[in-house]
Structure 1
Amino acid sequence: MAMAKPHHLILLLLLFFTTLHSSSPSPSNHIYNVADNVPFFVNKLGPFNNPSETYEYYELPFCNPDPIVKKKESLGEVLNGDRLSNGLYEFKFREDKIDETLCQKKLTINEIGSFKEAINSEFYFQFYLDDLPFWGFIGKVEDQSLIHGGGGSNYYLFTHVQFDVLYNGNRVVEVKAFGDPNRAVDITKDVVIDVKFTYSVIWKATELRFENRMKRYSRASLHPMYRQVHWFSFINSIVIILLLIGLLSLLYTRHLKSDLKKYSNANEEDREVGWKSIHGDVFKHPPNSSLFFAVVGTGTQLLILLCFLLFLAFIGTLYPYNRGGLSNCLVLLFTLSSVFAGYSTASFHGQFAENGWERSVGLAGILYIGPVFVIFSILNIIAISYRVTAGLPLGSIIVILCLYAFVAIPLLAFGGVIGYRLRSVFQRPSATKRYPKEIQQLPWYRRTPFQMFIGGFVPFSAIVLQLHQVYASIWGYKIYTLPGILVATLITVIVIVVLVNIGLTYIQLSVEDHEWWWRSVLCGGSTAIFMFGYGIYFYARSRMVSEFRCYLFAIYTSMLKESESPISSKKQHLLHYIKDELFPLESEVYTQQGHLCLNCMLYWKSLGEEMSRMIEIMLL
């Protein structure tokens, strides 16, 4: 892999930072004098029950300026689905407007049909005033079968919108929009109709401080009921951890004492039974090692990416409705963290083999981004065909491809070179056998499918309550504003996965089954299968019924299943082993197993979350 020149990388990063920079003014610029124009933009609209399916505001025949000027957006805003444009509404600081005429239009039959379809789907709009998002419905439906014995439904279009703007001193702190039902126009009949669109702006003083103006957007997530759910889920996870520790302690105490007693009383020839009889097989070079080490690097990269994102959310850098903030951080951190993927892949590969580390590093570069790119491409084509804001323009796609080709790949190669040169020497605690011991036929409860079920179900049961909140946030129904709980949940899940799989590996080794590498991968990663199944359940229980959403979810499902083939090659974290002693040998296997399960579970989980997040940032 060719290395880019340093000054080229620096130039590309500088260009990237300019695209990442949001055009939102800093707090010092949110100061206005009386009669100053307050920045206003229309953004998008979409169905209330499908919050991730959004369209540009002027897709409906509202009053529009001539010309329509699209706001220059950062890469993160584009990925987030924001499409800000200028509007005819005027907001002058602390100047009320009453029944101000926006425009007068003659709606054609086709335009009335578009409005009726949108009102029937409970469409809402999203505007921005002084970088504050606010929403409102475009109309309402009245079921006449409940009134005077009538039949059918009547459709009413809100032609008057009232804006209540709250200010503190010379700053805007809150905005609300209401459609006036008393001025709604009946558009039930498919006839040409003249409509006059008007609006009012009412300015009100408030004691709410400017620094706290974003807190109201997370108020629903901080409701006591939701907090109880979060804490109950966390306590549930802690209880499961304590139970697992107790069960594992009992298992080890009982079996190890019995084994050590048996070995101490047996002849030297009779001691080669149980897990000691396979000490020459458990550290054999795993098959498909290049792919295996590639997963090591990819998992390291995703772990670092996840930790940085949670840290930024925890300190408040990432907050709700920071337009494009999360998308910007995802792109930036994933690009820069490629160096860790290359370093880890080459370092672990170098412990087993002198040659071929370049192939492992190359696989690390496509193992994760490959499935994501395929999903992204298919979703983008569908989004463009449905004219939703998820469809990315060609310029944004080129920027992303250039970032990966000219920044991420060189950093990956650079990390690979450094990792291979700084590799440590792997010392096996015992000599490996040329021919591995034959594995006997095992009962069904000791085979891979059942152990995968146990290895996935136990961690899933600890996070199922929290998972509902996460999926609600991913699909746009709720704002997740408790990063501390999310960090605690992630840690508990990792601990549970490691504990469960240490126990499963002990059971496997005790029956002289030395093929623990890939089984531990499947057992540790099977939690993601349960999480994905819960995602299907969540979708079925929701009211996301549009054809676009059905296509979207079907592609998401099929692409995730296709991604399971490379995902099956999971990773290990090899430590320096203690030589030749019986008990330390098994302890080291369990230590490796813990690292392996930790890394592979994080990789599966991160891939599922990243694909879900890709859907979110494309559709929000």
Structure 2
Amino acid sequence: MDHRNQIIKTEYFLFNHYDFEFVHRNGTVVDIFLQVDPYYMVNVTDDIEADVVFTYSVKWFDTQQSHYKGMDKYTNYSSVPQANDIFGYSIANSSFTILILIVCLLIFYIRVLRKDISRYACDVEEAEMAGNQEETGWKNIHGDVFRFPKHKSLFAAALGSGTQLLVVMVAILVLGFTDLFLLHRPTVFVYALAIVYALTFANSGYTSTSFYHQLEGTKWTKNILLTGGLHIGPLFLVFIVNNIVGVFYESTAALPLGDIIEFSLLWVFLALPLLILGMVIGKNSASDFQAPCRTAKCPKEVPQPRWYKCVLPQMALAGIFSFSVIFLQTIEILNVVWGYTIYTSYGFMLIMLFLLLIMTALVSIVMTYFQLAAENHEWWWRSFFCGGSTGLYVYGYSIYHSFHLLEMNGFMQTTFFFGYMACLGYGIFLALGTVGFYASFLFVRYLYGSIKCD
């Protein structure tokens, strides 16, 4: 018999009996189990009408287990070997990458930077006796390296917003680590995030105003408006558009009017006063800018760099290093937010955030040194852009993730996804950009504080 000519027929069955098991404690349902009965099914292979009777059975079980414990099977990752493998691999990969970068920086410091500092630490007379008639490299721009950046008010506002978002990230992860956010009460996370975000406006106002004062800024009204609206402005705009779309489609994702009023009152009566309070304290307590080198009256012309030393190539290189630290974590977060995965390992996420901050700081220092070595003294904004470029990678990967790994379609899903992911990428850009600048700032102060400048 020739088996090649056989036709394999697929049959379809419809299960029409369901067994429900409810576990309760003192009238409160702790857990629910649902399974089908294989002895009750109807063959629906043929495309004909059929009358199907659906039945179900219900069983109740009493337990002394608390409903808090009923969620353990969703939050206990120790029982999921695959999750533990992913977490362990992610931490090991990130730690190994950072270790390699630290070793490279140490070698670079021992072989190059320390030699430069020792050579540049000589007096001018000693340098002339040694035959060095003209300064070159990063010392040549010591009179311009601490020249204040352009758009000082915007720069100070960006640092204030970035510092605020960093505090929010750490605070939320610490609160999550203490099991404050319970799965059966998801609104706790939303309200906690809103309250923490509102409280940290005091930090934003203080950081922005104190740094703006050091930059000898005078347009205080502009600084206040930029600090208060730099992050929440785009976030509020995206929220309004998405909420209108959600209402039009009659989706439960649209926030009710009552909740919108609550969040608006939270901003007006808590966030805004704290922002102004932080600015008042920052302006009154800020000290003058202390630079190890005097700034020349006339700025030197920045030489035309090669293409790979321009802003965009350096941002691309800096961002890919930092993004490699959180690549696997980004996939997990996207699956949680836009899928059906449950993820509550806040401790692991806190470790990954710590590793990300270290990587961002190290990469920003490297990029800043190469820029100064090319006698380009405009490092303020570039260090911020290089540090924050990871946010662009996160948003870019989310676009790839939406088209290849998520099953979403329709105008509302597209609007929600790309709108809120843009806000996430923008927030990461501000937070890590702040880390990149402060790391570069400390490095530049150390570098030029180690030499004798005329």
Equivalence for 2:70? 213
Alpha-carbon distance in structure 2 between the residues aligned to 1:389 and 1:449 = 41
Which residue of the other structure, out of 204, 210, 221, is the alignment partner of 1:358?
221
Deviations 1:585-608 (A, max 9, x none): 589xxxxxxxxxxxxxxxxxxxxx
Alpha-carbon distance in structure 1 between the residues aligned to 2:442 and 2:357 = 23
> Do the aligned partners of residues 324 and 586 (structure 1) sit closer, same or farther apart at CA in structure 2, a change above 3 Å counting?
farther
Deviation at 1:199? Answer: 4.7
Q: Which stretch of the first structure deviates more once superposed, 204-213 or 322-331?
A: 204-213
Which residue of the other structure, out of 500, 507, 521, is the alignment partner of 2:370?
507
Deviation at 1:407? Answer: 2.2
Deviations 1:503-558 (A, max 9, x none): 11111111211011111111111111111122122222224133142343354577
> Map of 1:69-468 to 2, 5 A cutoff?
148=9, 161-167=18-24, 172-178=29-35, 182=40, 199-205=56-62, 211-219=68-76, 222-260=79-117, 262-263=119-120, 264=122, 266-267=127-128, 270=133, 272-353=135-216, 355-468=218-331
> Do the aligned partners of residues 259 and 448 (structure 1) sit closer, same or farther apart at CA in structure 2, a change above 3 Å counting?
same
Deviation at 1:222? Answer: 4.8
Any conservation in 1 of the 2:383–2:440 contact (CA below 8 Å)?
no
- Partner of 2:128, secondary structure, is coil
Any conservation in 1 of the 2:148–2:215 contact (CA below 8 Å)?
yes
Residue 549 (str. 1) matches residue 406 (str. 2): no
Deviation at 1:405? Answer: 2.2
Residue 267 of structure 1 aligns with an amino acid whose one-letter code is E
Residue 332 of structure 1 aligns with an amino acid whose one-letter code is I
> Do the aligned partners of residues 484 and 578 (structure 1) sit closer, same or farther apart at CA in structure 2, a change above 3 Å counting?
closer
Alpha-carbon distance in structure 2 between the residues aligned to 1:189 and 1:398 = 53
Deviation at 1:259? Answer: 2.4
Any conservation in 1 of the 2:316–2:389 contact (CA below 8 Å)?
yes
> Do the aligned partners of residues 515 and 417 (structure 1) sit closer, same or farther apart at CA in structure 2, a change above 3 Å counting?
same
Deviation at 1:491? Answer: 0.4
- Partner of 1:177, secondary structure, is strand
Alpha-carbon distance in structure 2 between the residues aligned to 1:535 and 1:309 = 22
Deviations 1:322-349 (A, max 9, x none): 2311101011111122111111111111
Alpha-carbon distance in structure 2 between the residues aligned to 1:586 and 1:413 = 40
Q: TM-score, normalised by structure 2?
A: 0.84
Gaps of 5+ in 2: 1-6
Alpha-carbon distance in structure 1 between the residues aligned to 2:328 and 2:431 = 27
Alpha-carbon distance in structure 2 between the residues aligned to 1:440 and 1:383 = 52
- Partner of 1:355, secondary structure, is coil
Any conservation in 2 of the 1:427–1:577 contact (CA below 8 Å)?
no
> Do the aligned partners of residues 569 and 532 (structure 1) sit closer, same or farther apart at CA in structure 2, a change above 3 Å counting?
closer
Alpha-carbon distance in structure 2 between the residues aligned to 1:434 and 1:472 = 54
Which residue of the other structure, out of 390, 393, 416, is the alignment partner of 1:530?
393
Alpha-carbon distance in structure 2 between the residues aligned to 1:215 and 1:278 = 60
Deviation at 1:416? Answer: 1.0
> Do the aligned partners of residues 543 and 305 (structure 1) sit closer, same or farther apart at CA in structure 2, a change above 3 Å counting?
closer
> Map of 1:451-490 to 2, 5 A cutoff?
451-490=314-353
Q: Which stretch of the first structure deviates more once superposed, 201-210 or 568-577?
A: 568-577
> Do the aligned partners of residues 464 and 568 (structure 1) sit closer, same or farther apart at CA in structure 2, a change above 3 Å counting?
closer
Any conservation in 1 of the 2:387–2:432 contact (CA below 8 Å)?
no
- Partner of 1:204, secondary structure, is strand
Alpha-carbon distance in structure 1 between the residues aligned to 2:444 and 2:407 = 58
Any conservation in 2 of the 1:292–1:569 contact (CA below 8 Å)?
no
Deviations 1:458-488 (A, max 9, x none): 1112221222112111213311121111011
- Partner of 2:386, secondary structure, is helix
> Do the aligned partners of residues 184 and 481 (structure 1) sit closer, same or farther apart at CA in structure 2, a change above 3 Å counting?
farther
Matched residues, percent identical? 35
> Do the aligned partners of residues 220 and 427 (structure 1) sit closer, same or farther apart at CA in structure 2, a change above 3 Å counting?
closer
Deviations 1:400-437 (A, max 9, x none): 22221232112211211121111122222222122211
Q: Count how many residue pairs are aligned between Structure 1 and Structure 2.
A: 434
Any conservation in 1 of the 2:408–2:414 contact (CA below 8 Å)?
yes
Alpha-carbon distance in structure 2 between the residues aligned to 1:249 and 1:525 = 24
Deviation at 1:319? Answer: 3.1
Alpha-carbon distance in structure 1 between the residues aligned to 2:355 and 2:144 = 32
Any conservation in 1 of the 2:292–2:448 contact (CA below 8 Å)?
no
Deviation at 1:489? Answer: 0.4
Equivalence for 1:518? 381
Gaps of 5+ in 1: 1-145, 588-620
Residue 408 of structure 2 aligns with an amino acid whose one-letter code is V
Alpha-carbon distance in structure 2 between the residues aligned to 1:275 and 1:157 = 75
Alpha-carbon distance in structure 1 between the residues aligned to 2:146 and 2:100 = 30
Deviation at 1:234? Answer: 0.5
Deviation at 1:254? Answer: 1.6
Alpha-carbon distance in structure 1 between the residues aligned to 2:168 and 2:443 = 32
Deviation at 1:454? Answer: 1.4
Alpha-carbon distance in structure 1 between the residues aligned to 2:169 and 2:424 = 20
Alpha-carbon distance in structure 2 between the residues aligned to 1:555 and 1:579 = 37
Q: CA RMSD in A?
A: 3.6
Alpha-carbon distance in structure 1 between the residues aligned to 2:268 and 2:138 = 47
Equivalence for 1:584? 449
Residue 128 of structure 2 aligns with an amino acid whose one-letter code is N
Residue 59 of structure 2 aligns with an amino acid whose one-letter code is I
- Partner of 1:201, secondary structure, is strand
Alpha-carbon distance in structure 1 between the residues aligned to 2:338 and 2:423 = 18
Alpha-carbon distance in structure 2 between the residues aligned to 1:438 and 1:177 = 73
Deviations 1:336-389 (A, max 9, x none): 221111111111112222632332122111100111111111111221222221
